[in-house]
Amino acid sequence: SIFSLVVNLVLALAFSLYLLAQKETLTGQAKKVVRALFSEKWAHWITDVARMTNRTFSNFVTGQLTEAVILGTLCFLGMLIFRLPYAGVISVLVGFTALIPIFGAFIGVGIGAFLILLVSPIKALWFILFFVILQQLEGNLIYPRVVGSNVGLPAIWVLAAVTVGGNAFGLAGMLLAVPLCSVLYTLARQGVNARLARKGLSS
């Protein structure tokens, strides 16, 4: 299983690098295929949806990575100040799990608190208290400014997307559900606004 996982990771990395190197050529070929198969109206719509999907996923990934690095760094500095054990390992774990929207950071803090509990129960309680305060700071100040409305999805739909995606496809579903739901939300909003405009109603 480990060998298979390593092989799959190497193949995925090689495939990703190939796609990045050839993205202009592949984009041009995809546009030609779409224009050949569909009418001009549908080809234009498909191209717009693909462009919006690319922009949404890029904004989401960039925002999540930046936010995870900031959270991991703040966690590391705070643990050093309060002299909590395993500062480096736990901070990396918290930053990595923070890539999962909403629930990720709590997974990291749960594992981190368990590790510290093996050393000192009092320090484990201090760590949980410190992280609750840090999470409030991150959720109310950092996350809205870093990720903000980049994906254009209200908070309730982010929660719904993460929950449904996680139940259906596990960790990958949690990571991909938010930008995918954002694309569907934008398309639905555009469709509703267009119908209201045709009826002469205010959107």
Return averaged pLDDT per consecutive 10 residues of the chain, 203 residues in all. 84 87 88 91 90 84 84 90 90 86 78 90 92 81 62 73 83 80 85 84 65
User: Would you say the pTM of this structure is higher than 0.75?
Assistant: no
pLDDT at 46: 92
Reading the block at residue 132, the tokens are 């609750």
Distance CA 103, CA 135 (A): 11
pLDDT at 190: 84
CA 152 – CA 160 distance, rounded (Å): 15
d(Cα 201, Cα 199) in Å, to the nearest integer? 5
Look-up: residue for tokens 């495939």?
15
